[in-house]
Structure 1
Amino acid sequence: MLKELKVRDLALVAESIVRFGPGLNLLTGETGSGKSLIIDALSLALGARGGADQVRYGADRATIEAAFDGVVLGREVGKRSAARIDGRAATPGQLRELGERLVALHGQQEHHGLLDADTQTELLDAYGGALEMRAAAAAAHATWLGALNALRDLEQLRARGQREEEYLRWQLDELRHADPQPGEDEALAAERIAVRHSARLAELAQQAMDALHEEGLARAAVAISSAAALDARLGEQAERLDSLAEETSDLAAAVRRYVELLDSDPGRLEAIESRLAVLDGIKRKHGGSIESAIQARRRLELQLGATEDLDSAVAVAEAEQRNRRAELDAAAGRLTKARTAASRRMEKAVAAELQGLRLEASRFGVALRPLAEAGPGGAEAAEMMFSANPGEPIAPLAKVASGGELARVMLAIKTVGVGADRTPTLVFDEVDAGIGGEAATQVGIRLKALGERHQVLVVTHLAQIASFADHHLVVEKAPGRDGRNVVTVRELAGEDEKARELARMMSGGVTPKAVARAHELLEEAGRPVR
């Protein structure tokens, strides 16, 4: 969950700390107040591209810090940019990779991402619980591709003769000398952290041992045991104290063994760094990972071992390629079956949601388009189909949906797939594009329901949606001390304050009539949905 967003010198935001809570968080404010700046700041913290043009005039750089449960992501943009994870230097790519597991952003650009075939296929797989099958198909494809490449390498080697044997042997000798082991780089990276902090770890462990070796518990056990000899009612307490004393002794021994195993040898860190440098060089030359380097070694051994009998080696490689291809086809077939069943369920579920979102005449479908050949994503791609009006043929979503319709389709998909979506925080910007009235109320109901399973952040200009907020944040723009406009964010504290903001959103002013209607909206939003 996103707990806090700190922003300094980003566009019109001089300095702001925005705190979010669980459930549905709504951001509102007058047009041009800077609501989008808060989403922009969060996007930067999640690894989006940034530039000097986003820095507040007169400042050297803009800084953003997003605090989540268990991790803090930081970003600086300006003439020189920087990224941090828990205060340690990182790259924007690493922020993006981690951010994708923490936050799902759904703005106008992200809604347009819904038009992408890969995105649509992934949404179907997530809805149908087929992500593991998809991963299995991807693994089978990678294995088959490796076998196919090995076959092609052998065929090329047979055609080339011995021209490149010397170079291949040099590559193999280098790999054999390095002898990379599966997972070795990850294990060494973890050990490097422990060695770097060995002194602190030993100090903390010693403190724990000192505390565990205190004799107070042992004395208490002796005293209670003596008392139990005089009064049997203390027998249970005596047994429990004996057990605690024994457990404490075991814990102290375990901590002592841990301290003894800590490696404080300064030469060990140098050895780890040296080994990691060797492994990094091997990975750069052979596919970017330890696993690909190990595969390269096996392939080279096969190539060089087959120079005397290449015809036989090619036959073996052909059989291996056929077997791996059969495994890929089987994995892709299982995925196709799961997608076919999921597409029918998804069609019905999304269509029902769209009815509630005031798209009563719409139709929704999922077509599975066969690919020329099974790939890492299976043997087909999903294409979402849509028709908003009666009498119009159903067509690809990318060709027929307006911005408002697209936003509601995305919301419907998120609503029906809420159980499969593991992303803790969902962000919706402009989900209310092109809607109003009852459709806005229905959008609010569904956002509220999503808030029961996720933390949800929404930027909206519609009072009907804002009335459902668990936490209502208002974005305001006003002249600062230097006369320049400054954007601030604050949470509305009580129902009266929320009603005044809803009144402003509905009528542009805070009139008694508008405030009364706002109170009605808040009351209606608080009623159970049937």
Structure 2
Amino acid sequence: MLAQLEVQELALIERATVQFGQGLNLLTGETGSGKSLLVDALGLALGARAGQDQVREGAERAAVSALFLRPEGQLTLSREVGRRAAARLDGRPSNPAQLRELGSRLVGVHGQHDQRLLLEPQTQTQLLDEFAGAQEARIAVAAAFAASLQGLTALQELETIATRSRRDEEYLRWQLDQLRSADPQRGEDEELSAERAAARHAVRLAELVGDAGHNLRGDGTLAAAVAALRSATALDSRLAGLPERLALLAEEVAEVGSELRHYLDSLNSDPRRLAEIEDRLAALEQLKRRYGGSLEAVIEERARLETQLATTGDLGAALSQARDAVDARRAELEAAARVLTEARAEAAERLAQAVAGELEGMRLEGARFEIRLARRAAVAADGAEQAEMLFAANPGEPLAPLARVASGGELSRVMLALRTAAAEADRLPTLVFDEVDAGIGGEAARQVGLRLQRLGRGHQVLVVTHLAQIACYADHHLLVEKTLGGSGRNVVQVRELKSDAERAAELARMMSGGVTVKALARARELIQEAQPV
């Protein structure tokens, strides 16, 4: 529970230390005295958004500290606002997000803003789930939804890749068909270039090679020279070896001459062949420019495309597996959602009956309250449906959504009825109600007080109220006063009214604006009537 709240330099509060006790804690005081400032201060300690405008005029920073007592020990949540902002948990550096996370398990604050939230389907669904004790089922649905969404995302990514791959595959096959059709061979471009050069100069080459061949054939001079040298060698041994060397030259000349004759036979000056060579070389040059600059790169690209296209079946298998996974996860999500739906359906009837009974006790006789489950088109992270709370304030009126039919006072009582009916399921140790008495009075206010008293038996309850019919039920009555301080500025002070006389005086002021004999007498009656039986 919240044991103590310390506030410094926050708006009109210069310094205040407020002690809270178990049960029902009531904060009362004149309008504008600063009652809601204490709720705001607690909110800051719980990680609420802060601003420089909350700092007291002339101060550099505001500071709040909330001390909680828990079975495992004390816990202090602290916050500084202003030029030097800070957040702490038990004196250790923290941040507002951590304060909010921890505070959400310690305190539930219900004010005018929360009443507006009550009109939203998400809040109504959350309240129903709390009453149903379906938090685990809801977590299971959220986990299954996340897994389903993850699987669907993975499938969509694969389908995008597949769509792109099909387009890419068509283009790759077109490229491969081109390369296969062209069928380039290693060194082909060099061979064709040489053939083209010969074809372009075939006539001149024939003349030159013919002349060379004719000169090589000559008139048998080399053969005669070989015979003469052999005769000379017989006469002079120093010439030995020369006839054989000359004979080898004669054989080489004869071979060259033979090759020249073959070359002359192979020369092709046909223009059609030259055109074929030019076309082929142009096609090969185009491929080389597109695929790496050389014929070797073109041939390697053909091999790469053949390998890549051979593996396209792997993507199809991955798609099939992803679709199976999506179906399996969708089935798991639907199964988890059915468990949550069953829990909600059973709890909706019980909660509606309990709330209707509470509303009747709060002077809304004849009011009707129902909870319907509106089915969604598809299962979401919080289930297959949303709760819709319907209300009719008077007999004969049709049921309609709370947002359309509930006045401010009715909405306050509906919220309190919901909290009272769901008190056993509400795990928060401390509940705060600001302006819970909006739009009500008389017997309705007394009934609200009774329910707050009952709620205080299982929780610590903090209530800001303007009504004596509610304040009389306090286990701890805190008076918030705005007085003129020594600096000539108004300051807010808080003190607990411990005696019946003090409480009666405050209740009298709340009822009549002054402490009159008649008001005091009625105040004492209220305090007596409020004593628990």
Q: TM-score, normalised by structure 2?
A: 0.71
Residue identity over aligned pairs, in percent, reads: 61
Query: After the TM superposition, which residues 80-159 of structure 1 pair with which residues of structure 2 at under 5 Å, given as runs?
Result: 80-159=84-163
SS class of match (1:421) = coil
> What residue number does 2:80 align with?
76
User: Are 1:470 and 2:491 an aligned pair?
Assistant: no
Deviation, 1:158, is 2.8
How far apart, in 1, do the equivalents of 2:92 and 2:447 lie?
43
Deviation, 1:527, is 4.0
User: Are 1:12 and 2:17 an aligned pair?
Assistant: no
> What residue number does 1:311 align with?
316
SS class of match (1:63) = strand
How far apart, in 1, do the equivalents of 2:462 and 2:312 lie?
62
How far apart, in 1, do the equivalents of 2:161 and 2:92 lie?
47
> What residue number does 2:355 align with?
350
How far apart, in 2, do the equivalents of 1:419 and 1:76 lie?
35
Deviation, 1:160, is 3.6
SS class of match (1:48) = coil
Runs of 5+ unmatched residues, structure 2: 169-310
How far apart, in 1, do the equivalents of 2:32 and 2:340 lie?
47
Deviation, 1:390, is 2.7
> What residue number does 2:51 align with?
51
Q: 2:408 aligns with which of 396, 403, 407?
A: 403
CA RMSD of aligned residues (A): 1.7
SS class of match (1:115) = coil
Query: After the TM superposition, which residues 494-513 of structure 1 pair with which residues of structure 2 at under 5 Å, given as runs?
Result: 494-513=499-518
Q: Could you list the runs of 4 or more consecutive aligned residues of structure 1 that deviate by over 6 angstroms after TM superposition?
A: none
How far apart, in 2, do the equivalents of 1:383 and 1:407 lie?
17
How far apart, in 2, do the equivalents of 1:139 and 1:413 lie?
28
How far apart, in 1, do the equivalents of 2:354 and 2:519 lie?
37
Deviation, 1:384, is 0.7
> What residue number does 1:439 align with?
444
> What residue number does 1:340 align with?
345
User: Are 1:519 and 2:524 an aligned pair?
Assistant: yes
- Opposite residue 67 of structure 2, the aligned amino acid is A
Deviation, 1:157, is 2.8
How far apart, in 2, do the equivalents of 1:35 and 1:114 lie?
23
Post-superposition Cα deviations, 1:483-520, rounded to whole Å, max 9, x if no partner, equal: 11110000012111111111111111112221121111
> What residue number does 1:61 align with?
61
Q: 1:377 aligns with which of 369, 375, 382?
A: 382
Deviation, 1:159, is 3.2
User: Are 1:22 and 2:22 an aligned pair?
Assistant: yes
How far apart, in 2, do the equivalents of 1:55 and 1:527 lie?
41
How far apart, in 2, do the equivalents of 1:425 and 1:162 lie?
61
How far apart, in 1, do the equivalents of 2:477 and 2:144 lie?
48
- Opposite residue 17 of structure 2, the aligned amino acid is I
SS class of match (1:309) = helix
Query: After the TM superposition, which residues 443-454 of structure 1 pair with which residues of structure 2 at under 5 Å, given as runs?
Result: 443-454=448-459
- Opposite residue 323 of structure 1, the aligned amino acid is A
Q: 2:391 aligns with which of 359, 362, 386?
A: 386
Deviation, 1:79, is 3.3
SS class of match (2:104) = helix
Deviation, 1:163, is 12
> What residue number does 2:3 align with?
3
- Opposite residue 75 of structure 1, the aligned amino acid is R
Deviation, 1:389, is 2.2
Runs of 5+ unmatched residues, structure 1: 165-305
Q: TM-score, normalised by structure 1?
A: 0.71
Deviation, 1:153, is 2.3
